[in-house]
Each structure stands twice: as structure tokens, then as C-alpha cells.
């Protein structure tokens, strides 16, 4: 597949993923707003912090390293060995689920049964749902490697919608079930996800479409672990790369979910405060989930396919090197502008957003300050996602191993800073600790990218520079909306709120118009890579 085709398919994959994340977060957003009226904030805290932490930890530790290692390289590989390697995620998931489930049940302080019922059953079902999801890994990786973009959208959309519908029904009919409601819904989600992938490949393999695309798998039985005569069971080079990523994945998980680990193991916040923090955290991360995560996941595939891992750029195809640099520069500009927009306008509209979403329970306490601080974190999160996406896709195995030491230092630093800042500032300390660590990670990735392109004329980090005019517009918008919030929001009636929203809308439009006229290179990239397929379909 030509580089331009890979880029076009990757952009489409990012677009579909972004749409999927929009659906997921909108449904979750509405579901949380609905369930707040029926269940206690203690149950919200247990589900969204403790049980989801168990689930995400098992899934991440069992599959993240395999995904990163197996997505690297050409699609023309020994898929039997790759499939065999991917099936190791299931026993690994069972091991992590049993180990962490025991920790969650016997080493952590349990909730009061009078307030939160069925805690033990919830732990077991969330652990089981993680193992069930891992059974889809061989199917998922084949779909990602061959850019089956619609499969992922349909599978996850159907699973998410079913989960939300079941949760709403059970919350209304059986609110006394407590954690059992969310546990059963989570198990339904992962089961449907696996079923969708299996059913798709049952129909796809051996079909005329599969033959036309020269798909490397011909029968469903080839998607099960098996031995081939005169071949090794595993690709040991790929397995060693997986081990390198595995050592890194545990540290990355601590950095990604660090505040939840601190809340869970150090008891710095009670379950009710954890629930409030999680709601604010979910609201603040909407844009990160909508845009940044799909871009990071999709363009990791692009960089891994275009660049040869660990190889000096002088010895790679120069056209591919230039294209990768151009794409990286445009992505950095895109996420920087998106994050900066969220930071500037998030400050003035945090209190209003929380008041509309959860009423005075969220907007009268520390919620607005948390969300304002989180808007700054979103900016750092945006830049880090793209820089690490490129870094991990191009690093050699030896560089990945060395970076593990950096991740270890960052993890220890983050845990220490989180504990002390939270003891001093409460929930705000989590966000500030995340900002500090994200800045350090960005610094490391920027240093790597500078070194990677030091022997080339390409300078992709120019994507982090903005025009003075655009910076001036952001400054004016921040001042105007700040004064608007002070005098019009949020206890002065709906008319004042609408005027406040109108002022912000005008400032956003002025910012977007300035972007169109000052960032022409980015506009061209979006039009040609993200919008071209849709305009072609319309014509």
C-alpha cells in the first residue's frame, strides 16, 4: 500500500474513531446525568473510580504491549505467529484479573454495604468482563492493521448503546441492585463487542471481498492458536519487542490512571468526593476523548507503517520521511489549537457547564475550580498524545527499554506529587500533578523528535508555533469571556446566561476565522486528508 493511501485511510480511521468517541462520550455524559437522579454519588464513585480502575488495569496490562508490538511493521508478515502471540493476552488477563481481584476484595477498604451493595459481585464481574474483551484481540488487530474502519465503529457503537440502554432500564426498575446494575451492563458491553468481531470475520473470511483484498487469513480456524509444521510457534523478535513494551505499559498505566490509584490505595478522598471528581474529570475530558485519543490511536498506525522502527532517517525512503514530518507538524498544530481553545474558553464557562449538567451539587463547590484547572491539563494532554504517538512508533527496541527508566522516574514522581498536593489542595492536587508529569513527558518526546530529525531539513515541531495575531485573538477572547462570566453568570437568570453564551460564541467564531486565515497549511491538511472522502461521497 502506498504511503499516500495509508495516510488517507489513517485519516479516515481517525475521523471514524472521533465519531465513535463522540457517540460514546455523549451517551456516557447523558447516562451520568440520568443516573445522578437515581443512585448515590457513593455508587458513582465506586463504579467510575474503583471498579473501572480494576477493569482498565487488567485490560491495559494484558493487551497494550501486544498491540503496540504487533501493529508495527508491514501487513505482509507471518500472521499465524502474530495470532498465536495475541492469544497470550487471554491467560495473561486471567492472571491479572485474579491477582487484582483479590487485592480489590481483601486489601482495599470496602464500602459500607448499607450504602453500596453487591461490592464483591461487582469486582468479580468487572474482572470477568476484562477477560472477555481480551478474546477479541486477534480480530481487533487484523481489523486495525487492514484499516477496517467501519467494523470498529459498528461493533463499539452497538455495544455502547446496548450497555447504556440496559443500565437505564435497571436503574429505573431495580435501583436497589446497586453495583450489580453497572456490573451486568459492563459484561454485556464486552460480550457484544467480541460477538460483533467474531460474526464479522465468520462472514468475511473466504468471501469474494476477502479474496479481492488478498486477505492473509482464509479460515476462521486460522484465528485460533495453532502450530504450523517447520515454523516457530511465535515470532521471537516480535515477542521481545512486546516484552519491552510490557515493562513500559505498567508505568504508563500508573501515569494514565495515577489519580485513581492514589484515591483507591491511599484513601485521600471518600467515595462521595471521588464520585464528584470523576464527574468533573469526565466532563473535562470530553474533547480529549472526542479528538485527541482517536488521532493518537490512528496515526500511531500511520507512523508505524511509514517509518522503519529504530532505523536512521538517512537510510529510509526520504519521501516517506518528509511525509511523516509534514503529517506530524499538522497534527501538532491541530491538537495545539484545539487544546488552547479549550483552555481559553473553558475558564469562563466551567461553572455554567457544571450548573447545567448537575445543578448546584456540582457548580457550588470545588467543581468549577477543578474544571478550570482541567482545561489547562487538556492542552498538555493534546500535545503529549501526538508527540508520544510519533515517539513510540519510531523508537527502536533499545530506545524503548531506556525509556522504561524514564517512565519509572515519572511514575514515582507523579505518585509522590499527587499524594502531597492532594493532602494540601484536595482534588485540585490530582490535576496539578497530572499537568506537571504531562509537561515532563512532552519535554522528553520533543527532545527525541529534535534528535530524530536533526540530520534532516524537516522541522515538524514548527507545528507548536502560532502566529502573533492568533495569540492576540485568544488573549482578547479570554479577557472578554472572563468579564462576561463575572457580570452575567451564573446566578443572574437565564437571560444573562444566554448573553454570556452569545459572547462566547462570537469569540469562538472570531478565533476560528483567524485560524482559517493564519493557519492555511493546517486548513489544507484537514481539507485534503479528513474532509476529501466525505466531499467525494456527496458529489
User: What is the reported pLDDT for 515?
Assistant: 92
Q: What does the alpha-carbon distance between residue 424 and residue 435 come to, in Å, rounded to a whole number?
A: 16
- The verdict on residue 460 lying in a domain is yes
> Residue 522: is its pLDDT beyond 70?
yes
Average pLDDT, the chain: 81
- Pair 213, 305 in one domain: no
User: What is the reported pLDDT for 398?
Assistant: 80
Average pLDDT over residues 257-264: 77
15-54 pLDDT per residue, tens? 556 565 566 666 666 766 677 667 777 788 888 888 999 9
Highest mean pLDDT among 73-77, 218-222, 331-335, 496-500: 331-335
Cα separation values, 185 from 32, 158, 181, 198, 342, Å: 14, 13, 6, 20, 32
- The verdict on residue 480 lying in a domain is no
- Pair 278, 223 in one domain: no
- The verdict on residue 485 lying in a domain is no
- The verdict on residue 267 lying in a domain is yes
Asked if 258 and 80 touch (Cβ cutoff 8 Å), the reply is no
- Pair 261, 242 in one domain: no
Domain assignment of residue 280, given as a range: 257-465
**pTM higher than 0.75:** no
Cα separation values, 100 from 103, 186, 395, 415, Å: 5, 18, 31, 19
- The C-alpha cell 482517536 sits at 294
- Pair 99, 182 in one domain: yes
User: What is the reported pLDDT for 95?
Assistant: 95
Asked if 53 and 80 touch (Cβ cutoff 8 Å), the reply is no
Percent of the chain with pLDDT over 70: 86
281-304 pLDDT per residue, tens? 777 777 666 677 777 877 887 888
Confidence grade of residue 536 (pLDDT, cut at 50, 70, 90)? very low
- The verdict on residue 14 lying in a domain is no
Asked if 193 and 133 touch (Cβ cutoff 8 Å), the reply is yes
How does 155-178 read in b/e, with b if 16+ C-beta sit within 10 Å? Answer: bbbebbebbbebbbebbeeeeebb
- The C-alpha cell 473553558 sits at 346
User: What is the reported pLDDT for 121?
Assistant: 92
- The verdict on residue 353 lying in a domain is yes
Structural domains counted in the chain? 2
Q: What does the alpha-carbon distance between residue 82 and residue 68 come to, in Å, rounded to a whole number?
A: 12
Q: What does the alpha-carbon distance between residue 531 and residue 477 come to, in Å, rounded to a whole number?
A: 28
Secondary structure (DSSP) of 165-177:
HHHHHHHHH-GGG
Greater pLDDT, 153 or 181: 181
Q: What does the alpha-carbon distance between residue 382 and residue 384 come to, in Å, rounded to a whole number?
A: 6
- Pair 157, 264 in one domain: no
Confidence grade of residue 306 (pLDDT, cut at 50, 70, 90)? confident
Greater pLDDT, 517 or 70: 517
- Pair 137, 274 in one domain: no
Q: What does the alpha-carbon distance between residue 104 and residue 27 come to, in Å, rounded to a whole number?
A: 28
Which of 19-28, 210-219, 330-339 is predicted with the least confidence, judged by mean pLDDT? Answer: 19-28
Q: What does the alpha-carbon distance between residue 490 and residue 496 come to, in Å, rounded to a whole number?
A: 8
Q: Quick one: which of 77, 405, 399, 101 has its CA closest to 86?
A: 77
Which of 4-8, 41-45, 437-441 is predicted with the least confidence, judged by mean pLDDT? Answer: 4-8
The conformation of residue 46, written as its DSSP 8-state character, comes to: I
Give all strands (DSSP E) within 366-449, no chain letters: none
Confidence grade of residue 5 (pLDDT, cut at 50, 70, 90)? low
Average pLDDT over residues 478-500: 83
- Pair 132, 44 in one domain: yes
89-146 pLDDT per residue, tens? 999 999 999 999 999 999 888 887 877 788 899 999 999 999 999 999 988 888 877 7
User: Directed axis angle between helix 3-35 and helix 271-284, to 10°?
Assistant: 140
Confidence grade of residue 227 (pLDDT, cut at 50, 70, 90)? confident
Give the distance, in angstroms, between the CA of residue 448 and the centroid of all CA atoms in the same chain. Answer: 22
- Pair 313, 402 in one domain: yes
Which grid coordinates belong to 392?
Answer: 513510540
- Pair 229, 282 in one domain: no
- Pair 145, 199 in one domain: yes
Contacts with 453 (C-beta within 8 Å, 6 or more apart), sequence order: 313, 325, 459, 460
Domain boundary among 176, 211, 246: 246
Query: Within the chain, how many helices (H) and strands (E) appear?
Result: 24, 0
399-435 pLDDT per residue, tens? 877 887 787 787 788 778 888 888 788 778 888 888 8
- Pair 233, 278 in one domain: no
- Pair 262, 126 in one domain: no
H/E/C letters for each residue in 100-124?
A: HHHHHHHCCCCCCCCCCCCHHHHHH
- The verdict on residue 531 lying in a domain is no
Q: What does the alpha-carbon distance between residue 22 and residue 443 come to, in Å, rounded to a whole number?
A: 30
Domain boundary among 439, 465, 491: 465
Domain boundary among 217, 246, 275: 246
- The verdict on residue 368 lying in a domain is yes
Amino acid at each position: 500500500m502506498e504511503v499516500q493511501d495509508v495516510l488517507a485511510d489513517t485519516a479516515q480511521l481517525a475521523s471514524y474513531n472521533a465519531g465513535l468517541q463522540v457517540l460514546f462520550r455523549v451517551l456516557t455524559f447523558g447516562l451520568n446525568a440520568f443516573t445522578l437522579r437515581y443512585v448515590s454519588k457513593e455508587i458513582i464513585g465506586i463504579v467510575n473510580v474503583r471498579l473501572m480502575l480494576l477493569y482498565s488495569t487488567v485490560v491495559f496490562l494484558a493487551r497494550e504491549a501486544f498491540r503496540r508490538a504487533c501493529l508495527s511493521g508491514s501487513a505482509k508478515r507471518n500472521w499465524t505467529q502474530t495470532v498465536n502471540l495475541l492469544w497470550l493476552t487471554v491467560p495473561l488477563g486471567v492472571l491479572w484479573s485474579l491477582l487484582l481481584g483479590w487485592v480489590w476484595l481483601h486489601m482495599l477498604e470496602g464500602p459500607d454495604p448499607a450504602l453500596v451493595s453487591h461490592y464483591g459481585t461487582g469486582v468479580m464481574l468487572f474482572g470477568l468482563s476484562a477477560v472477555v474483551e481480551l478474546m477479541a484481540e486477534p480480530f481487533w488487530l487484523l481489523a486495525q492493521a487492514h484499516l477496517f474502519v467501519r467494523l470498529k465503529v459498528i461493533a463499539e457503537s452497538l455495544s455502547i448503546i446496548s450497555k447504556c440502554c440496559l443500565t437505564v432500564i435497571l436503574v429505573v426498575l431495580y435501583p436497589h441492585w446497586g453495583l450489580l446494575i453497572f456490573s451486568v451492563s459492563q459484561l454485556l458491553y464486552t460480550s457484544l463487542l467480541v460477538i460483533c468481531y467474531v460474526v464479522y470475520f465468520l462472514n468475511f473470511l473466504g468471501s469474494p471481498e476477502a479474496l479481492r483484498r488478498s486477505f492473509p487469513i482464509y479460515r476462521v480456524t486460522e484465528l485460533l492458536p495453532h502450530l504450523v509444521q517447520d515454523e516457530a510457534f511465535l515470532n521471537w523478535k516480535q515477542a521481545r519487542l512486546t516484552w519491552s513494551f510490557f515493562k513500559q505499559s505498567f508505568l504508563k498505566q500508573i501515569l494514565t490512571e495515577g489519580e485513581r490509584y492514589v484515591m483507591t490505595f491511599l484513601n485521600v478522598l471518600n467515595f462521595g468526593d471521588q464520585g464528584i471528581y470523576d464527574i468533573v474529570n469526565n466532563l473535562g475530558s470530553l474533547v480529549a476523548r472526542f479528538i485527541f485519543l482517536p488521532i493518537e490511536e490512528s496515526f500511531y498506525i500511520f507512523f508505524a507503517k511509514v517509518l522503519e522502527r529504530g532505523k536512521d532517517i538517512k537510510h529510509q525512503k526520504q519521501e516517506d520521511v518528509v511525509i511523516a514530518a509534514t503529517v506530524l507538524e499538522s497534527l501538532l498544530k491541530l491538537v495545539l489549537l484545539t487544546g488552547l481553545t479549550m483552555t481559553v474558553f473553558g475558564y469562563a464557562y466551567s461553572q455554567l457547564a457544571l450548573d447545567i449538567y448537575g445543578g448546584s451539587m456540582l457548580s457550588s463547590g470545588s467543581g468549577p475550580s477543578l474544571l478550570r484547572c482541567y482545561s489547562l491539563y487538556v492542552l498538555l494532554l493534546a500535545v503529549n498524545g501526538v508527540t508520544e504517538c510519533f515517539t513510540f512508533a519510531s523508537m527502536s527496541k533499545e530506545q524503548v527499554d531506556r525509556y522504561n527508566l524514564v517512565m519509572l522516574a515519572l511514575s514515582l514522581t507523579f505518585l509522590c506529587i499527587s499524594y502531597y498536593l492532594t493532602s494540601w489542595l484536595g482534588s485540585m492536587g490530582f490535576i496539578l500533578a497530572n499537568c506537571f508529569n504531562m509537561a515532563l513527558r512532552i519535554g522528553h518526546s520533543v527532545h527525541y523528535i529534535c534528535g530524530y530529525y536533526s540530520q534532516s531539513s524537516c522541522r515538524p515541531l514548527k507545528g507548536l508555533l502560532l502566529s502573533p495575531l492568533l495569540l492576540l485573538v485568544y488573549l482578547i477572547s479570554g479577557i472578554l469571556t472572563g468579564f462576561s462570566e463575572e457580570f452575567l453568570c451564573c446566578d443572574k437568570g437565564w437571560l444573562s446566561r444566554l448573553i454570556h453564551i452569545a459572547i462566547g460564541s462570537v469569540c469562538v467564531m472570531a478565533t476560528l476565522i483567524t485560524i482559517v486565515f493564519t493557519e492555511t497549511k493546517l486548513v489544507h491538511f484537514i481539507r485534503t486528508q479528513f474532509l476529501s472522502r466525505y466531499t467525494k461521497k456527496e458529489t
